[in-house]
Amino acid sequence: MLEELEESLFEPGPREFIEAIEAATAILERERHTCYIRGGKLYGPVGILDDLPEDLVVIGDIHGDLQTLIMILKDVDYERTLSNPHNKLIFLGDYVDRGSNSIGVLYTVCCLKLKFPNSVLLMRGNHEAPLDFPFFSHNLPNELTRRYGRNLGKLIYDDKIIPFFQMLILIILIKRQLLIVHGGLPTDREFLGKLHSEKELEFVARQQLFGNALTEEILWNDPVEYIRSGQDWEYSRRGYGKHFGMTVSKKWLEATGSKIVVRGHEPCAGFKINHGGAVLTLFSCHEAYPGFEAAYLKVSQNQLAPISHSDQLAVYVKKIR
């Protein structure tokens, strides 16, 4: 598949791009309707995997950096890895904006979901929620206009891409091990007071109670080590979301029976660790952030099972040169 994409210079024509987005959206809609993903359940935007994947690959923010994405896919031998439905490739979101080829990234990600629907899980980043939380660096519409013209580009964006974005997953829970989000963890004390197990999380998802407030924090929050005045959180410098402290991470991990939060959202040296090993941040984009590094996580079931904090998990993070 990658060879075919490289031959076309990662520039799909409008018809093949539309068909890929539509087909991937249909798969996501079917997963929502049936509440089923291979190896677990999907309750609205919350995916719960009952068992550890045989091999787990996690890719962080890509931001239109198609070349780095292709390097990662080749590095993990994606054809072999994803052909096994007991393996999982999880994208943490932020596929678009900032880089030079958001269209190529979206096309590649959709093609992966089409070819390996049981192995590929697509999460939503804050850059996939531009209508809910507008921000100045959302340049995907401009790229669509340059590539396909104003009218067709707007149609693709409004009628195809936005519905695709809205079907992406907000939270993935790998039972007894990992709690995976794009940005961070909601901080509302009333909500946390009711969150005592994954069953409460399922209920929130089933009842479609993920309103803008929860969604904003999941997509925009960041962990910090110190918050003034001894609070659990403070407002974020980003304009959306909050900075959350170690207390919030511990409450979520205890409530969901997880050991580590895995998330993206922040440029870093490929990865970083917060909250005493409770949080691991992954970042997989280099083009738009040349001062930082790109990396991904690949870990086997046997390697993941005994891990209890991020320092141990970081051993399996590989940087892309």
CATH number of the domain residue 37 falls in: 3.60.21.10
Best CA proximity match to 12, nearest among 90, 116, 114, 137: 114
Give residue 302's pLDDT: 98
Q: Does residue 33 have a pLDDT over 50? A: yes
Give me the mean pLDDT over the 13-22 stretch.
97
Strand ranges (DSSP E) for 114-184? 120-122, 171-174, 178-180
Q: What is the pLDDT of residue 200?
A: 72
pLDDT interval class at 9 (50, 70, 90): very low
Of 243, 215, 216, 222, whose CA–CA distance to 231 is shortest? 243
Q: Dihedral, CA atoms, 246, 249, 251, 255, nearest 10 degrees? A: -160
Tokens of 227: 């918050």
From first CA to last CA, the distance across the chain in angstroms is 23
Q: Quote the pLDDT of residue 4.
A: 59
Of 176-185, 197-206, 219-228, 287-296, the poorest mean pLDDT is in 197-206
How large is the average pLDDT for residues 107-111? 96
Give the residue from 220, 27, 7 showing the smallest Cα distance to 104. 7
Q: Residue 32 belongs to what H/E stretch?
A: helix 14-34
Would the pLDDT of 228 be above 50?
Answer: yes
Q: CA 43 to CA 48: how far, in whole Å? A: 8
- What is the model's pLDDT at position 267? 97
Average pLDDT, the chain: 93
User: For the residues 106-123, what does the mean pLDDT come to?
Assistant: 97
Residues 89-112: b if buried by 16+ CB within 10 A, e if exposed: bbbbbbbbbbbebbbbbbbbbbbb
CA dist 257 to 157, 238, 252, Å?
39, 30, 8
* 217 contacts 183 by C-beta, under 8 angstroms: yes
Work out how many domains the chain is built from and give that number.
1
The pLDDT score that the predictor gives to residue 11 is: 80
- The answer to whether residues 48 and 41 touch, using CB atoms and an 8 Å cutoff, is yes
Instruction: Say how far apart CA 171 and CA 181 lie, in whole Å.
Output: 5
Structure tokens at 61: 């923010």
State pLDDT tens for residues 141-161: 999 999 999 999 999 999 999
Model confidence at 2: pLDDT above 70:
no
What residues contact residue 155 under an 8 Å CB cut-off, 6+ apart? none
pLDDT of residue 8: 44
Percent of the chain with pLDDT strictly greater than 70: 93
- Residues 6+ positions from 281 with CB-CB distance below 8 Å: 60, 223, 263, 264, 265, 266, 268, 271, 272, 273, 274
Which single residue is written with the structure tokens 């979101």? 93
Give the pair of three-digit tokens for residue 27: 């798969």
Range of the domain at 132: 2-320
What confidence category does residue 251 fall into, taking pLDDT thresholds of 50, 70 and 90?
very high
**pLDDT computed for residue 202 by the predictor:** 73
**Mean pLDDT across the stretch 108-112?**
97
Strand order in the sheet with 233-235: 222-223, 242-244, 233-235
Q: How far is CA 232 from the centre of its chain?
A: 24
Q: Nearest to residue 44, comparing CAs of 160, 167, 127?
A: 167
Q: What Å distances lie between residue 107 and 112, 156, 190, 204, 264, CA to CA?
A: 9, 13, 40, 32, 21
